[in-house]
Structure 1
Amino acid sequence: MSGTPVTRSTANAAATSAVTATGSENTGSENTGIHRPRTPIPFRRLLSVETRKLFDTRGGKIITAGLVVLVLAAVIGRGVVSGPRLQSMIGTSGIGLGTLLPILAILTMTGEWSHRTALTTFALVPRRGRALAAKCLPPLIMAVAASLLAMLVAVPVTAVVAGVQDVPATWEVAPLALLGWTGTNVLMVAAALALGTLLLNAPAAIVIYLLAPILWSAVGRLGTTGRALAGWLDLNTTTAPLTAGDMTGGDTARLAVSVLLWIAVPMAAGVARVIRKDVS
């Protein structure tokens, strides 16, 4: 009689184990069905997020507001001093665009590292190349938009200055010059993006970007060799014919060399660094 309870206990224990195992299998299959692999974040969403980051931060808002004010002040000031000439007014607005747009681009590329949000970003977007591409496009698009804004602002200012000074306005513009001027703004922003990606340090990148024209100007005064070096390696010098709209074959070659030096090589090295860099 003592063997029967043991047998029943053993049978009950075996049944309980079987039910538990079955439940575990069902739960595992249900969990497998629930936790499906996540689909990658669409690139358009990444682009939207990075575009919003341009204006969400306090620095971005200040730079954007300063950019608008500086463009208006430059266009109006040039109109008052030089008269109602549309082409010259548009070109003068490039002073603000060529200074503040690259700084905004540098802050865009270095912000993840200075604010220590790179870990979150790359956890959500493991393919770092996609994240970098989404960061680069908004500043480049903004360079084109800001150039168009400057052109639109210059038109009514030219008309107002002509009316106030009671002189005829000069509306003639060279389409190639306007296109080259816009392209120059885009190249300057691209150079700033490359520098920010390479250094991942906003103060260092901004200082180097702002000091480079001064240093190249000094190099250009060192005689024939200095002028030759600046003529091939200084991006500000090689883009001058592009801005004027009269590029030649030699100008194109010099521009290609400076673009390779200031944009292609630093960007490639910076992308390689970001992809391999440990994030903590």
Structure 2
Amino acid sequence: MTDISATRDVRSATAIPFHRLLSVEARKLFDTRSGKIMTMILLVLTLASIVARGVVSGPQLHTLIGTAGIGFSTLLPVIGILTVTSEWSHRTALTTFALEPRRSRVLAAKCLPPLITATVASLFAMLVAVPVTAAVASAQDVTAHWEVAPLALLGWTATNVLVVAMGLAVGMLLLNAPAAIVICLATPMLWSVVARLGATGEALTEWLDPGTAATPLMSGDMTGGDAARLAVSMIFWIAIPMTLGVVRVLRKEVN
């Protein structure tokens, strides 16, 4: 007769620690060819955009930091999408879930590295913008503008994290990288069209367009109404697709 308590002890003893899962998923994010290419493009684009904006617009710290968001809004959601779809496109999900059958732990370990990457990328942009501001001020012999609101920096960083979360949610729902990337990249253009469709289009854009809803957050002057609109947008683009995507992954047959 099998000793149930002994079986439970063996399972608990052989369970993979979450920090190891997190480490493995972080390596998957940066060790793959696509991950390395995305990381290099992100670094180069951040440096180039900040330097170019400094030369053109002058030494304004707040402006230079925000310039990095041009590349972040495009590349960060793609990183999130590739993180949750690569297992299915490369057909390695069977191996991953065989080693760790509790899929919810794997999904949690997959989602954390891209979110942390968004935070680190935001801090990197701030660190780059400071010396560039000083260098441009010295080269152009003008006064540097160092004024920047802490709440605006926090809001800008939070927006970058939300952008990645949106990529994770859409990617997990579709489990198809090309389709998810097209949706994330085409969404801002589609909402710009919807906003021109009269009062109804403007209202829909205010409440459902993540870019429009997050604008007060990035500027650091969010009101109660702004927070409500942002919450509705994030529920629509992150909470709902993420929930449906998690359910789909937990129930999906792996072959």
Q: TM-score normalised by the shorter chain: which range applies? A: over 0.9
CA-CA distance at 1:201 after TM superposition: 0.3
The within-5 A match list for 1:1-280 is 36-37=10-11, 39-280=14-255
C-alpha deviation, 1:39, in angstroms: 1.8
Query: By how many angstroms is 1:101 displaced?
Result: 1.2
Give the Cα separation in 1 of the matches to 2:79 and 2:168.
9
1:209, distance to aligned residue in structure 2 (A): 0.5
Tell me by how many angstroms 1:97 deviates.
Answer: 1.2
| Displacement after TM superposition at 1:236 (Å) | 0.6
Task: Provide, for residues 33-81 of structure 1, a one-character-per-residue CA deviation record: whole Å limited to 9, x for no partner.
Answer: 9xx5452100000000011111111111111000001001110111011
* TM-score calculated relative to the size of structure 2: 0.95
Letter in 1 for 2:231: A
1: distance between equivalents of 2:49 and 2:218? Answer: 18
Root mean square deviation, CA, Å: 1.4
- Which secondary structure state, in structure 2, belongs to the residue aligned with residue 93 of structure 1? helix
Gaps of 5+ in 1: 1-31
Q: Distance in 1 between matches of 2:145 and 2:99?
A: 53
Identity %: 69
Higher relative contact order (CA 8 A, sep 6+): 2
Deviations 1:196-222 (A, max 9, x none): 000000000000100011001100011
CA–CA distance in structure 2, aligned partners of residues 85 and 93 of structure 1 = 13
Rounded Cα–Cα distance in structure 1 between residues aligned with 2:169 and 2:251 = 17
How big is the shift at 1:98? 1.4
2:87 maps to amino acid: E
- Following the alignment from structure 1 to structure 2, what is the Cα–Cα distance between the partners of residues 54 and 127? 20
Q: What is the rounded CA distance, in whole Å, between the counterparts of 1:155 and 1:59 in structure 2?
A: 30
For structure 2, the residue ranges without an aligned partner over 5 or more in a row are 1-5
Q: Provide the TM-score with structure 1 as the length reference.
A: 0.87
Aligned residues: 248
Q: Secondary structure at the match of 2:145?
A: coil
